């Protein structure tokens, strides 16, 4: 069953938090699909992942790069999984019907945006209702992640 982690961004924006989480995913030998709210957002994040840290390399791509099956991290605005990812990362309040096809889902939302928080709360409820195991992660003062809640699952 898919485990859904809600990542409440408070200390650092998505632009800084997303690359670090993706580094951890790829470092574990896993593949990630990043589902964005628009093509422009996917293109922006694609550019960001090339430049966020001059000392690191995070292999990734978008549709216009071609051969998505070879990308450890693939960014898209479409409900698809062309790189056979086991980890789904949702940004911009994106939601997906086939979440159960992934081992893990990371739902990242801006904790300083009241609409984003309200939307995340509804997605949490929907995930619990669907029987997913859900966890809630909040940034600490150092920008690291601490699990502060969990629920759901069929038992």
Query: How far is the C-alpha of 122 from the C-alpha of 119, rounded, in Å?
Result: 5
Contact assessment for residue 99 and residue 87, using Cβ atoms and an 8 Å cutoff: no
Q: Where are the domains of the chain?
A: 3-152
Query: Per-residue pLDDT tens for 34-90?
Result: 999 999 999 999 999 999 999 999 999 999 998 999 999 999 999 999 999 999 999
Position 138 pLDDT exceeds 60: yes
> Domain spanning 3-152 has what CATH number?
3.40.50.10110
Say which residue the tokens 């056979």 belong to.
84
Q: What SS3 string covers 98-132?
A: CHHHCCEEEEEEECCCHHHHHHHHHHHHHHHHCCC
pTM, to two decimals:
0.93
Query: Per-residue pLDDT tens for 95-111?
Result: 888 898 999 999 999 99
Query: How far is the C-alpha of 91 from the C-alpha of 14, rounded, in Å?
Result: 8
């Amino acid at each position: 069953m898919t485990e859904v982690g809600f990542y409440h961004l408070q200390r650092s924006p998505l632009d800084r938090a997303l690359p670090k989480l993706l580094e951890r995913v790829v470092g574990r030998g896993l593949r990630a699909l990043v589902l964005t709210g628009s093509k422009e957002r996917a293109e922006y994040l694609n550019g960001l992942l090339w430049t966020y840290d001059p000392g690191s390399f995070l292999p990734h791509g978008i549709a216009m790069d071609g051969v998505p099956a070879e990308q450890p991290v693939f960014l898209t605005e479409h409900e698809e999984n062309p790189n056979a990812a086991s980890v789904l990362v949702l940004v911009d309040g994106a939601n997906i019907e086939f979440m159960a096809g992934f081992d893990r889902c990371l739902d990242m939302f801006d904790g300083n945006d009241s609409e984003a928080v309200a939307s995340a709360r509804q997605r949490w409820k929907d995930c619990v209702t669907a029987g997913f195991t859900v966890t809630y992660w909040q940034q600490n003062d150092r920008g690291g992640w601490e699990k502060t809640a969990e629920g759901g699952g069929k038992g």
